Amino acid sequence: MPSRFGEIAFTPEVKAVQEKRGSRQTYERYVNNSAANDTITPKIAEFIARLEGFYLGTISSNGYPYIQFRGGAPGFLKILDEKTLGFADFSGNLQYITVGNLSANNKAFLFLMDYRHRQRIKIWGKAECIEGDRELIARLQVPDYPAQIERAILFHVEATSENCPQHIPIRYSQREVEAAIAPLKARIAELESQLSDR
């Protein structure tokens, strides 16, 4: 089966530019000889489990893209099965742009970045908002996070693509920095204690 990424991303317009620039033949072979890349593999699942945020893209009815950052504790983007991701949608600024966009056009895009390990994964699919499903909302609940969940958002995976790390800056989250310096703080406290006992 050809790569679903190529089938979705390489539109006639993209193919025309590739042809003009001399890369069409290479990408034609890539699409035809690659795996389908249309599921959440164990490798991607491991990547998702450590994320503290991602970017969600939707399309408005006037044709403009809308990209929103979603953040949370690692594991807040949940893998429900090999073709479905889900997350809790909390009360926010009440603009409802993503919710409104999905009501008219369910095509969506996830851009997953792990700055620390300089990795990124792109996922194309369709998304839906689900309200009132207590069982689903319970599955997507984030432990120890008190905000009210307004709805669940499910993302149905159609294609994935991993990118090379070139030009991704290395960045650490506050949680990662705190974990890295905790042993140093403990050692400083120990040394200070030894000095005060003299």
The full set of domain ranges for the chain reads 1-36, 38-171
Q: Whole-model pTM?
A: 0.86
- How much of the chain, in percent, has pLDDT values that exceed 90? 62
Residue 173 has φ and ψ, to the nearest 5°, of -75, 165
Please report the pLDDT score of residue 50 as a whole number.
Answer: 92
Query: Position of tokens 């669940």?
Result: 152
Alpha helices for the chain (secondary structure H): 4-9, 12-21, 24-33, 42-49, 97-104, 134-140, 174-196
The mean-pLDDT minimum among 11-25, 41-55, 71-85, 137-151 falls in: 137-151
Q: By the 8 A CB rule, do 36 and 3 touch?
A: yes
As a whole number of angstroms, the distance between CA 23 and CA 27 comes to 6
Please report the pLDDT score of residue 84 as a whole number.
Answer: 97
Please report the pLDDT score of residue 103 as a whole number.
Answer: 95
Angle 101-102-103 (CA atoms, 0-180°, nearest 5)? 90
Beta strands in 23-118 (DSSP E): 53-59, 65-71, 78-81, 84-90, 107-114
Q: Which of 115, 122, 198 is CA-nearest to residue 160? A: 122
Split at pLDDT 50, 70, 90, the class of 1 is low
Query: What tokens appear for 186 in the block?
Result: 């403990």
Split at pLDDT 50, 70, 90, the class of 113 is very high
Q: By the 8 A CB rule, do 5 and 161 touch?
A: yes
CA distances from 52 to 3, 47, 101, 177 (A): 28, 11, 24, 14
Please report the pLDDT score of residue 3 as a whole number.
Answer: 85
One-letter amino acid at 172 equals: Y
The answer to whether domain 38-171 has CATH 2.30.110.10 is yes
